[in-house]
Structure 1
Amino acid sequence: MDLGSFPEDQRIPATTLIDMWAELYNQDEDDAIANLHELSDRNLIEVVVTRKDANEDDGSYNEHFVMQHDLLRELAIRGSNSGNIEHRKRVLLEIIENKIPEWLMEQDQLSIRAKLLSISKDETFSSSWSTMQAPEVEVLLLNFQTQKYSLPEFIERMNKLKVLVLHNYGFVPAELSNFPLLGSLSNLKRIRLEKVSIPSLFLTSMKWRKLEKMSLVMCNIDQAFNKSTNKISDAFPKLVDLTIDYCNDLEELPTGFCDLVLLRKLSITNCHKLLALPEDMGNLLDLEVLRLNSCIELTELPGTIGRLHKLQILDLSECLSVTELPEQIGQLDDLRKLYMIECSSCELPSSVANLVHLKEVIGDQETAMSWNRFKPCLPSLTIKVHKENNLNWLG
């Protein structure tokens, strides 16, 4: 039923569904993931994996997307839209060519009790938002296709909102206005912004006091951490999971980034202009997962990475400019899985022989040969050779 909240014929990020279900139904993420598998097993959804070596065993679903058949989507929407609008569990509002649903036009002030609100509009929508009261909404999905997007005014009255998803299905990042309205969302725990130009995250009067997870995908983020005299750790005191993916204007992480000492998962992927990581990277002592794949201009890892004694998963695949690993890599005494696909030019220091808990290295043929030298010192290590996709059928 919840999958009807997304536009027709669009891939749904699996992580968005996981975030929704974790908060709507008070599930942990493992239960939410189990829901995905059950829907797939029943042929109610199709799961598409965009990266061949993506593996849910490491807790990453960033490369997993869900497709729903149009007829099943229509069935979900019909089920959600049954009953009186004020008492629905989900309110799905779709505005196409300025055709606003009659039930919305008939009421000057609409009050709903739904926990999930989805608003989808195309590029032709030009009308102002109606006055809406949605005090019980915990998950808000805003789907749009415009170059400029103004957040609806009623957001600032959503005191129970826990999950906010802004998804631009257009071709270029959209400019956001009314962004300071987010300052009222004191219970927000998860936010996903996709294909938008993000104003300064410090323009609002709030500190993102309860925010645990932030995902920035295909965004312009050069202004996101500007215009602040506050410490980033003060603004995001509970952040444990950060994803920055396909943000092509990211050249360096903001000052004080490594003061986010509660971070457990950090994924900076497909950011082709990222040149370096902070020297104080070793301050992220709780970090368990670090993904840097396809950061093609990144030249090295800081030596302080050796202080990340809780790190279990490290992904350096397609970091083409990294020519050697620091000697301190051998101090990662809890490292279990290492991705090094397309890293054949990266030299391994002798200290990797100390990675006694390393269970799996995934790499190309050349990388596998480099690691074979250390196999006698690492009896528990399995070396897997990644096979390229065969694209001959394209031609």
Structure 2
Amino acid sequence: MSELKVLIIINQNSVRTKLDGMSSFGSLTKLKSLRLKKLNVPNLQNHCQSFKESLKKISLCLCSGDNAELNIEVCSELHNLEEISIDCCVNIKEFPVGICNLTSLKRLIITNYHELKKIPDNIGELAGSLEELTLYACATLRELPASICELEKLELLDISKCQYLERLPSQVGKLNKLQTLRIRECEKIKQLPQSASRLISLRHLICDTQFENQCSSLSRANSNLEIIGIEPEHHLRWLDQ
């Protein structure tokens, strides 16, 4: 166990199962990647000391926590953690603010997080490392903090299917290294901020077809930009057949 570098625990049952025996994690001093799926997970912060220097990736899918509330406050001592992926995890009451202290974090991927209403204002503290921020299908997210515009290394921003998000921060044009922006099925976003014309590194903008015209000024300012319009998904399309 002491040489283990990748640990994947997947529950194949139809309901979540409690993850027991986490005390054995104490021997995983070389662990680099941890993936947990469909499990009831105790507080991770209490079990990360042994691999705080080695762990680079955490992935949680369909997980919950003790007393039905998942505590994913990540140990701030995970100095080399580069990626966090959280998908379809239930009963997460607040965004784990400790994530913003992980100064080596390159990729933060949060999908199908239906109780997420706000991103912490201090997410700008990841300015020296974060390259990808995915907030996909976060159905109750209503705004992005202005500090997101301080993420000077950000190359990909995906806010697709955030149906209640009304706007991007006004200074989004400060993201000088942003190469890909995905804003599909964000019905309440009617236009991009004027500063978006300063996104000099932007190469791919993926949006709904009806939003393409709103982005025409960007293509005039950036000849290297490709705007990709995609028809929105209509899950009840069969009703018209």
Paired residues of 1:301 and 1:325 also in contact (CA < 8 A):
yes
Structure 1 residues 205 and 344: alpha-carbon distance in aligned structure 2, compared to 1, 3 A threshold: closer
2:185 and 2:232 in contact (8 A); partners too:
no
Could you report, residue by residue, the CA deviation over 1:318-364 in whole angstroms, capped at 9, with x for unpaired residues? 01111011112110000001111102321311110110111111110
- Matched to 1:208, the amino acid is F
CA distance in 2, matches of 1:246, 1:364: 24
Aligned mates of 1:192, 1:343 — CA distance in 2: 30
Q: Secondary structure of the residue that 1:320 maps to in structure 2?
A: coil
Contact (CA 8 Å) 2:28, 2:50: kept in 1 or not?
no
C-alpha contact (below 8 Å) 1:340/1:367 kept by paired residues: no
Which residue number in structure 1 is paired with residue 149 of structure 2? 306
* Separation of aligned partners in 1, 2:232 and 2:194: 29
Distance 1:376 1:206 in 2: 51
In structure 2, how many angstroms separate the alpha carbons of the residues matched to 1:207 and 1:321?
40
Counterpart position of 1:266: 108
* CA shift for structure 1 position 253: 2.0
1:257 positional shift: 2.1
Task: Report what 2:71 is aligned to.
Answer: 224
1:181 aligns with 2:24: yes
The equivalent of 1:280 in structure 2 is 122
Task: Note the alpha carbon deviations across 1:186-222, whole angstroms, 9 max, x for none.
Answer: 1111010000011011333734321100000111143
Give the 3 Å change call, closer, same or farther, for CA 204–289 of structure 1 in structure 2. closer
3-state DSSP class of the match of 2:36? strand
Q: Is the 8 A contact 1:241 1:266 kept in 2?
A: yes
2:164–2:187 Cα contact (<8 Å) kept? no
Q: How far, CA to CA, are the matches of 1:259 and 1:203 in structure 2?
A: 17
Alignment equivalent of 2:96, drawn from 254, 262, 268: 254
Residue aligning to 1:212:
56
* 2-structure distance, mates of 1:204, 1:345: 41
Residue-by-residue CA offset, 1:145-165 (whole Å, 9 max, x unaligned): xxxxxxxxxxxxx11111110
Aligned counterparts of 2:172 and 2:34: Cα–Cα separation in 1: 33
- Counterpart CA distance in 2 for 1:284 and 1:244 is 18
What SS is found at the alignment partner of 1:372?
Answer: helix
Task: Spell out, residue by residue over 1:273-324, the C-alpha distance to the aligned partner (whole angstroms, 9 max, x if none).
Answer: 1111110111112111111110011111110111111111111100111101
1:292 touches 1:316 (CA, 8 Å); kept in 2? yes
Q: Match of 2:225?
A: 381
Percent identity between matched residues is: 34
Query: Larger deviation: 331-340 or 194-203?
Result: 194-203
Q: Would the alpha carbon gap of residues 224 and 184 (structure 1) be closer, same or farther in structure 2, given more than 3 Å must change?
A: farther
Listed one character per residue, the Cα deviations across residues 110-137 of structure 1 (whole Å, up to 9, x for unaligned) are xxxxxxxxxxxxxxxxxxxxxxxxxxxx
| Bigger relative CO (Cα 8 Å, ≥ 6 apart) | 2
Cα offsets for 1:9-44 (capped at 9, x unmatched) = xxxxxxxxxxxxxxxxxxxxxxxxxxxxxxxxxxxx
Q: 1:233 Cα deviation (Å)?
A: 1.5
Match of 2:173 in 1: 330
| Cα distance, 1:378–1:334 mapped onto 2, change above 3 Å | same
CA distance in 2: counterparts of 1:240 and 1:311, whole angstroms: 14
Matched, 1:199 2:46: no
Change (3 A) 1:367 1:176: same
What one-letter code is carried by the residue in structure 2 that aligns with 1:242? I
The 8 Å contact of residues 177 and 202 in structure 2, kept in 1 or not, is answered as yes
Deviation (angstroms), 1:389: 5.6
Q: Give the paired residue count.
A: 233
| Offset at residue 390 of structure 1 (A) | 7.7
Equivalent position amino acid for 2:132 in 1: V
Distance 1:371 1:283 in 2: 30
Partner of 1:162: 5
Decide whether the 8 Å contact of 1:180 with 1:203 is kept in 2: no
Residue 295 of structure 1 corresponds to 138
* Conservation of the 8 A alpha-carbon contact between 1:259 and 1:284: yes
What residue ranges of structure 2 are gaps of 5+ in the alignment? none
> 1:366 aligns to what?
210
Is the CA contact 2:25–2:50 (under 8 Å) kept in the aligned structure 1?
no
For residue 242 of structure 1, give the secondary structure of its aligned residue in structure 2. Answer: strand
TM-score, structure 1 length as denominator? 0.56
Counterparts in 2 of 1:205 and 1:364: CA distance versus 1, 3 Å: closer
Compared with structure 1, are the counterparts of its residues 255 and 359 closer, same or farther at alpha carbon in structure 2 (3 Å cutoff)? closer
Question: Normalization by structure 2: what TM-score?
Answer: 0.89
Take 1:293 and 1:362, find their aligned partners in 2: how far apart are those partners? 13
Distance 1:312 1:168 in 2: 34
Asked if the contact 1:215–1:243 (Cα under 8 Å) also holds between the matched residues in 2, the reply is yes
